Amino acid sequence: MSGFLASPFIFQKLGYQGNFAVCGGAVGLAIVYVIFLVPEPNKVKKNSDTQEKNEGRKFSFVFVKNLIVRAFLVLKDGFVTLATRPRTRILKILILIQLICFAIYWLCVEVNVLLYLYMMLVFEGFNADDYAYFLVSLF
């Protein structure tokens, strides 16, 4: 989110190359951080019984339903753990700010998707190129 706020100032001072260099540097730092400082997650044991049962099937609605239910339960449990773990006040505030930023971001993403679908419905012959020109004209 801070990139959206800082990029006009970086562009005024450094131009196109500087703007892309700062962005590339930030992405490079994030990659280095993930590679060297983020610990590996615990390995999950594979259940050979369920693999043998499902090898013959190509598609199953029950599998998709179970996958969605499991994903929802994992997200719910993870969020409850995240929200209820004892932390200092500043960490709780930072996590709250991050969750608010993610909520605003996903709201904006959904609005863009709905806007694109609406424009496809209303304007005859509207396609992705027209939408790209529309987005560029907004900035």
pLDDT digits (tens, 9 = 90+) for 35-48: 788 776 655 555 55
Residues 56 and 114 in one domain: yes
Host domain of residue 2 = 1-39
pLDDT digits (tens, 9 = 90+) for 32-79: 887 788 776 655 555 555 555 545 555 566 777 777 777 777 777 777
pLDDT digits (tens, 9 = 90+) for 71-108: 777 777 777 777 777 888 888 888 888 888 888 887 77
Residues 33 and 46 in one domain: no
Structure tokens at 49: 């019984």
Residues 57 and 102 in one domain: yes
Structural domain total, the chain: 2
pLDDT greater at residue 22 or residue 50: 22
Residues 21 and 51 in one domain: no
Residues 113 and 53 in one domain: yes
pLDDT greater at residue 3 or residue 100: 100
Torsion on CA atoms 133, 103, 89, 77, rounded to nearest 10: -140
Check residue 44 and give its pLDDT.
52
Residues 52 and 26 in one domain: no
Residues 130 and 75 in one domain: yes
Residues 28 and 82 in one domain: no
Residues 118 and 101 in one domain: yes
**Burial class, 134, CB count within 10 angstroms (exposed 0-12 / middle 13-18 / buried 19+):** middle
Check residue 40 and give its pLDDT.
65
pLDDT of 139 above 70:
no
Residues 3 and 69 in one domain: no
Residues 31 and 71 in one domain: no
